Chains A and B, each alone.
Chain A
Amino acid sequence: MKIPYSVFPDGFGSHVYSVRLSVSVALPSPGAPRTKRFEAVIDSGATRCMFHSDIGRFLGLDITSGEKEITQGIGGLSDTYLHDIALYIPGGPVTIKAAFKDSLPIAALLGMNGFFEHFVVTFNQNALMCEIERVFRA
Chain B
Amino acid sequence: MADEVFSGCGPWKVDVVSPENKIRLELLRSAPLNKWIALSEDESSIVAVGETYGEVSERSDLAGEADPVILKTPQEWAPLSV
Q: Do A and B come together as binding partners?
A: yes
Binding site for B on A (CB under 8 A): 6-11, 13-16, 18, 22, 35-39, 41, 43, 45-46, 50, 52, 54-55, 57-58, 73-75, 104-107, 109
CB distance from B47 to the nearest CB of A (A): 11
Interface size on B, residues (CB 8 A): 32
CB pair A7 B17 closer than 8 Å: yes
Closest residue of chain B to A107, judged by CB? B72
User: Chain B: residues with CB nearer than 8 A to chain A?
Assistant: 2-5, 17, 21, 24-25, 28-29, 36, 38, 52-54, 57, 60, 67-72, 74-82
Task: Decide if B28 touches A9 in the complex (CB within 8 Å).
Answer: yes
- The docked-state distance in angstroms from the alpha carbon of A7 to that of B25 is 6
The number of residue pairs between A and B whose CB atoms lie closer than 8 Å in the complex comes to 99
Residues of chain A within 8 A (CB-CB) of B24 are: 6-7
Say yes or no: B17 contacts A15, CB within 8 Å.
yes
Q: Is the CB of B67 within 8 A of A109?
A: no
* Residues of B close to A73: CB separation below 8 A: 81-82
| B21 adjacent to A7 (CB under 8 Å) | yes
Are A36 and B70 within 8 A (Cβ)?
yes
Contact of A36 among B3, B28, B57, B78 (CB under 8 A): B57
**Contact (A36, B2) CB under 8 Å given A41-B80, A109-B82:** no
Looking at the complex, which one of B53, B72, B79 makes contact with A16 (CB distance below 8 Å)? Answer: B79
- Bound complex: CA of A116 vs CA of B57, how far in Å? 27
